[in-house]
């Protein structure tokens, strides 16, 4: 039986590695380390796949899309201590995902998989996505002083498309103004980009903070450029008349020959 498991496991991994390139190109999978003060090793099949992965770091797993990570574990760096035992984990073959190693509401390390909304964003807007992945109770997220997202709990995600600009964000306990859990922090809302903000850390340990991730290229270009509603005249361009006297003198001087002919 053990031999059979070994064969099947190896077959699974090899089959997974044979995923067509086209499928991999469609996928974008990031892994974010969202547990403060806890360097880890990421282990698959009993071996360290990447080690000494630090809080706040991001690893691109896109090339592994469609594969199954056998016996996926997150261990405290340099030790055999398993922080997260995820077991065999099938990565999506396509789509846009972020996997976050984080603390659940009770403070236990776990993995959350979020599918990122990459639908197109109207011109002049950006997408703000906020995810509660901290050991903390329900929170409200304030934008420029007003509650934008209410009663967000771990491990959930809320989002909105907002006009381009900078917003000052604060995370506070649900239905309360204090104490401020995160912020205020300035967040850039950029045209055609999704900004994903993760609340991470432990409220009990005083380590709650924010991590960010962004996805660009979701924008919508203007549909047309209409720059004329009347026929072209024959005079010196009138825009010159709208400028200051000094400029006007300069323009007239520069076009003296034209002016003379017309006068």
Query: Residues 6 or more apart from 26 whose CB is under 8 A from it?
Result: 65, 93, 94, 95
CA atoms of 71 and 67, how far apart (whole Å): 13
Return the residue of 224, 245, 256, 263 that touches another protein, per CB under 8 A: 224
Return the residue of 9, 118, 202, 207 that touches another protein, per CB under 8 A: 9
Footprint of another protein on residues 124-153 (CB under 8 A)? 124, 138, 149-153
Footprint of another protein on residues 15-54 (CB under 8 A)? 17, 30-32, 44-50
Residues 168 and 191: beta-carbon distance below 8 Å: no
Which residues on adjacent β-strands are paired with residue 115?
97
Structure tokens at 257: 């020959």
Structure tokens at 19: 């995923």
Burial class of residue 182 in the structure, from the number of CB atoms within 10 Å of its CB (0-12 exposed, 13-18 middle, 19+ buried): buried
Return the residue of 35, 103, 114, 208 that touches another protein, per CB under 8 A: 114
Q: Which is nearer to another protein, 38 or 68 (CB)?
A: 68
Phi (first) and psi of residue 7, to 5 degrees: -65, -45
Return the residue of 80, 242, 245, 261 that touches another protein, per CB under 8 A: 242
Q: What is the dihedral of CA 226, 231, 232, 238, to 10 degrees?
A: -80
Return the residue of 83, 112, 208, 215 that touches another protein, per CB under 8 A: 112
Q: Which is nearer to another protein, 182 or 203 (CB)?
A: 182
Provide the 3-class DSSP secondary structure of residue 215: strand
When asked if residue 68 is in the footprint of another protein (CB under 8 A), the reply is: yes
Return the residue of 26, 76, 188, 202 that touches another protein, per CB under 8 A: 188
Q: Which is nearer to another protein, 2 or 80 (CB)?
A: 2
When asked if residue 207 is in the footprint of another protein (CB under 8 A), the reply is: no
When asked if residue 69 is in the footprint of another protein (CB under 8 A), the reply is: yes
């Amino acid at each position: 039986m053990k031999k059979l498991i070994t064969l099947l496991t190896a077959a699974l991994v090899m089959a997974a590695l044979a995923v067509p390139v086209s499928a991999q190109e469609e996928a974008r999978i990031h892994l974010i380390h969202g547990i403060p003060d806890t360097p880890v090793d990421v282990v698959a099949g009993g071996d360290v796949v990447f080690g000494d992965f630090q809080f706040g770091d991001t690893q691109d797993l896109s090339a592994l899309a469609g594969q199954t990570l056998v016996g996926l574990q997150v261990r405290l760096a340099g030790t055999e201590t398993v922080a997260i035992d995820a077991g065999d984990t099938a990565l999506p073959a396509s789509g846009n995902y972020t996997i976050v190693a984080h603390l659940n509401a009770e403070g236990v390390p776990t993995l959350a998989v979020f599918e990122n909304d990459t639908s197109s964003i109207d011109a002049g807007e950006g997408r703000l996505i906020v995810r509660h992945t901290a050991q903390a109770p329900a929170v409200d997220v304030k934008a420029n002083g007003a509650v934008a997202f209410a009663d967000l709990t771990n491990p959930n995600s809320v989002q909105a498309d907002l006009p381009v600009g900078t917003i000052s964000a604060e995370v506070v306990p649900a239905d309360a103004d204090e104490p401020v859990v995160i912020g205020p922090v300035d967040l850039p809302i950029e045209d055609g980009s999704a900004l994903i903000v993760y609340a991470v850390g432990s409220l009990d340990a005083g380590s709650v903070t924010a991590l960010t991730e962004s996805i660009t290229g979701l924008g919508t270009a203007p549909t047309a450029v209409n720059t004329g509603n009347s026929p072209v005249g024959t005079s010196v361009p009138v825009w010159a008349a709208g400028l200051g006297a000094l400029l006007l003198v300069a323009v007239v001087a520069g076009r003296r020959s034209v002016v003379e002919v017309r006068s």
